[in-house]
Structure 1
Amino acid sequence: MKPIIAVTMGDPAGIGPEITLGSLNKKEIYDICTPVVIGNARVLESLFEVKEVDLKINLIEKTSEAKGEYGTIDLIDFPDLPEYEFGQVNAANGSAAFEYIKYAAELCQSNEAQAMATAPINKESLKAAKVPYIGHTEMLAGVAKIDDPLTMFEVRNMRIFFLTRHLSLKDAIGQMTKERVHDYLVRCDAALQKLGVENRTFAVAGLNPHSGENGLFGTEEMDEIKPGIELAQKSGIDAVGPVPADSVFFQALNGRYDAVLSLYHDQGHIAAKMTDFHRTISITNGLPFLRTSVDHGTAFDIAGQGIASSVSMEESIKLAAKYAPHFVGQE
């Protein structure tokens, strides 16, 4: 039986609606799952002509009513959206985007959907709406009442976890403790196991040039990172490092490691997006449900023009469908 994937439309003023349409205009999506969009019918319909799609909307109230047929968008409609303009920060849009995400999470928690795939949201619109979260990961952690979920990127056959996320580099370095490295490696291993990955091998990226060269270029590797890896090894985790960051991602891409633990935001983002920007997909692990996402923003500068590529959204939905059978039913 095909999994039901809750697809959130994202910020109505961004490219989320049009990449959602672009994705659901592909038959291969319906071959592997039943996508159910959480969003606004008026916004989506306004883009039919711009996107040149021959689709129709089937309004439903629950996922069991979905037809799951190519050519039809099964939509749970949130109609209460004031007038807006594409490409503009708007509190109402930020509030609406948050509501779509909350509802999709509820569908997953009640097993009315087996995973969720999310289109981009805008941090300024969220702030204008006084939404108390900076992004998807924090939002979903709050909704699910989970502390510090794990972010993982997947692109081609490379997986990247992140020890720290939205912090300045100075603050991120302060969180690179041996205890945190140990804890993350243990949880990353559990996350991959939950996704059905066997014989899991990890590499931890180095922080300093050449991983510090035994203290010549910094001592963080000696003082905290390597001791954290050693603690993880004692816990039964197959982990090595720190491996210099200028080579570890290339090695992972070529099959040497099943995953890399990136120490800070841009370290892993650059590696993934240089490999394939449009096919870099984010997975939030550590939640009681599976969530995948595009890893780009709302692109207000091109929103509503019909020119945004839907490849990332397509890949996000496909990845949700791929991992959902491994995830559903597990504690």
Structure 2
Amino acid sequence: MAQLPILAITAGDPAGAGPEITARAFANDSVYEMCRPVVIGDPCMMQQALVCTGLNDQIRIHVIEDVKDAVYEKSIMNVYDMHLISDPSEIELGKISKEAGEAAFQYVVKAIQLAMADEVDGTITNAISKEAINLAGHHYSGHTEIYADYTGTKRYCMMLAHNDFRVVHVSTHVSLREACDRCKKERILDVIEMADEVCRDLGIKEPKVAVAGLNPHCGEHGMFGREEIEEIEPAIAEAKEKGIQAIGPCPPDTVFSQAIGGWYDIVVCMYHDQGHIPTKVQGFVYDRERQQWNAVAGINITLGLPIIRVSVDHGTAFDHAGKGDANELSLLNSIEYGAKMALSRLEKRG
């Protein structure tokens, strides 16, 4: 186990299902086989989550103030005590609040600090509420922007993945109108390069990078828009000159089916929903008869950072908080991806 990467796992919004999802993940022995995990949160909330999920007899919390004090054994959950919540009654489950937002934000900041100081080899994030962290006075539109700010990163993008289906985004948390304005050659080229790089980090020697168009039918030679002609095609051409197998522009209504079929290793998407919708159609499976989710799978990775950040690809699940039935599959997927990336980076360092 000493050779496994140390991963900091944030508890997410304490009013959401993040603590319970974390508890359920720790009940899976594979977590300890993939990494040495440390939860960043408050022990009282994690203890409440263990009771709520019925796992308090199987998993014991080990409170730490320093990563060096962690004990990596199955059935032990190391919790890095943030001293933000002393009693679970301070947080109303399922409700947005600035108190919960402040805690969730500080969990993320601490994980970043530990990774930047090389005390952990990667970070895994549970969901936060954008509204709650903004109520707490931290004006960010999501994890990606927090990580970029606190690591001083200017060139970054979001990647979503479900098994070997992968997408990256030219723009994310902006209006659709603004997203169209952000489809510029320089930015598209940056994202193509980051897409190629992450595939190589994952062991793909010659990645095939599909680049989706912005407009219907990729603009139909300018009839439905000229972004493909003026911005996307020039970016693809320059990427090819750099030795990247960039393919496109590809019509968005077919490129994802082709990626699922193995034609491409990753798809560069022009805006948030263009990439999110096909990924969640793949990973989120709802049982009509039982009226519950059978699977909530998929992960979110921020590319371009000096540290590893992998996240669940779902929200805070406020409606599941306190019920103990939230699905942990996305978190397990995130830990697996994060551990794989961390091992790759550790091997490159020698």
TM-score (norm 2): 0.90
8 A contact 1:194–1:330 mirrored in 2 = no
Question: Could you tell me which residue of structure 2 aligns to residue 22 of structure 1?
Answer: 24
Q: Which residue among 58, 69, 86 is the counterpart of 2:62?
A: 58
Q: Tell me if 1:301 matches 2:305.
A: no
1:318 equivalent among 314, 321, 336: 336
**1:301 match: secondary structure:** helix
Q: Are 1:218 and 2:225 matched, yes or no?
A: yes
Match of 1:92 in 2: 99
1:286-323 Cα shifts (integer Å, max 9, x gaps): 11111100011112122111121111111111111121
Residue number in structure 1 paired with 2:274 = 267
Question: Within 5 Å, which residues of 2 pair with 1:1-331?
Answer: 1-53=3-55, 54-81=58-85, 83-277=90-284, 278-328=296-346
Q: State the 1:330 CA deviation.
A: 5.5
CA displacement at 1:329 relative to structure 2: 6.8
- CA change 1:329–1:103 in 2 (3 A) is farther
SS in 1 for 2:302: strand
For each residue in 1:103-128, what CA deviation from the matched residue of structure 2 results, as whole angstroms up to 9, or x when unmatched? Answer: 11111122211111100001111111
Partner of 2:291: none
Q: Tell me if structure 2 keeps the 8 A contact 1:126–1:134.
A: no
Matches of 2:182 and 2:50, distance apart in 1:
47
Counterpart in the other structure of 2:290: none
Partner Cα separation in structure 2 for residue 20 and residue 39 of structure 1: 11
Amino acid at match of 2:85: L
1:11 Cα deviation from its structure 2 partner: 0.7
Contiguous gaps of at least 5 residues in structure 2: 285-295
Q: Aligned residues: percent identity? A: 40
The 2-side partners of 1:132 and 1:328 are apart by 34
Cα distance in 1 between the residues matched to 2:190 and 2:70: 41
How far apart in 2 are the matches of 1:186 and 1:58? Answer: 42
Indicate the SS of the match to 2:320. coil
Alignment check: 8 A CA contact 1:289 1:327 kept: no
- Aligned-residue Cα RMSD (Å) equals 1.6
Question: 1:284 is matched by which residue type in structure 2?
Answer: T
Could you list the runs of 5+ residues in structure 1 that have no partner in the other structure?
none
Secondary structure at the aligned position of 2:197 is classed as: helix
Letter of the 1:117 counterpart: I
Counterpart secondary structure, 1:46: helix
- Equivalents in 1 of 2:36, 2:343: separation in Å? 13
Distance in 2, Cα, partners of 1:225 & 1:149: 18
Offset of residue 186 of structure 1: 2.3
Partner of 2:293: none
CA distance in 2, matches of 1:222, 1:149: 24
The number of residue pairs the alignment matches comes to 331
